[in-house]
C-alpha cells in the first residue's frame, strides 16, 4: 500500500534529522494517512478512501465528498478516486 493520499496526491517528503551537535542524517516525513469511509449524497452510497488528515478537513470544509470532487484536479486524484469523480459527474448530469 503506497503512502500517498488518494485525493490530494500528498506523499512522503525527505529532509534531515539534525542533532544537537548539528549532525545531519536523512529521513522521510510521511503524510498522516487515514482509512475513511465518506458518504456521497449524489451517488447515495459510501466510498472507502485512504486520505490525509488535511484532505479530510478540506472535504468537510467544501461540504462533503461531492463538493470536494467538483473542485478537485484530475491529475491529483488516484485512479480509484477519479472513477468516483466521473460517477458523481455522470449522476449529477442525469439528475
Please check the confidence at residue 2 and state whether its pLDDT lies above 90: no
Smallest CA-to-CA distance from 11 within 65, 48, 54, 68 is with: 54
Q: Which residues pair with 35 in a beta bridge?
A: 50
Read off the pTM. 0.88
pLDDT band at 1 (very low <50, low <70, confident <90, very high): confident
State pLDDT tens for residues 41-62.
Answer: 999 999 999 999 999 999 999 9
Domain chopping of the chain, boundaries: 13-94
How far apart, in Å, are the Cα atoms of 44 and each of 10, 22, 31, 63, 87? Answer: 28, 55, 30, 15, 11
Q: How is domain 13-94 classified at the CATH fold level?
A: Ribosomal Protein L24e; Chain: T; (2.30.170)
**79: which residues sit within 8 A by CB, 6+ positions away?**
none
Q: 30: closest CA among 53, 56, 7?
A: 53
Amino acid at each position: 500500500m503506497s503512502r500517498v493520499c488518494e485525493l490530494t496526491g500528498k506523499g512522503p517528503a525527505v529532509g534531515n534529522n539534525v542533532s544537537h551537535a548539528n549532525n545531519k542524517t536523512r529521513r522521510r516525513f510521511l503524510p498522516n494517512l487515514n482509512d475513511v469511509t465518506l458518504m456521497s449524497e449524489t451517488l447515495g452510497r459510501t466510498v472507502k478512501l485512504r486520505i490525509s488528515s488535511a484532505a479530510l478537513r478540506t472535504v468537510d470544509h467544501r461540504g462533503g465528498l461531492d463538493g470536494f470532487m467538483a473542485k478537485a484536479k484530475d491529475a491529483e486524484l488516484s485512479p480509484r478516486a477519479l472513477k468516483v469523480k466521473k460517477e458523481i459527474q455522470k449522476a449529477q448530469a442525469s439528475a
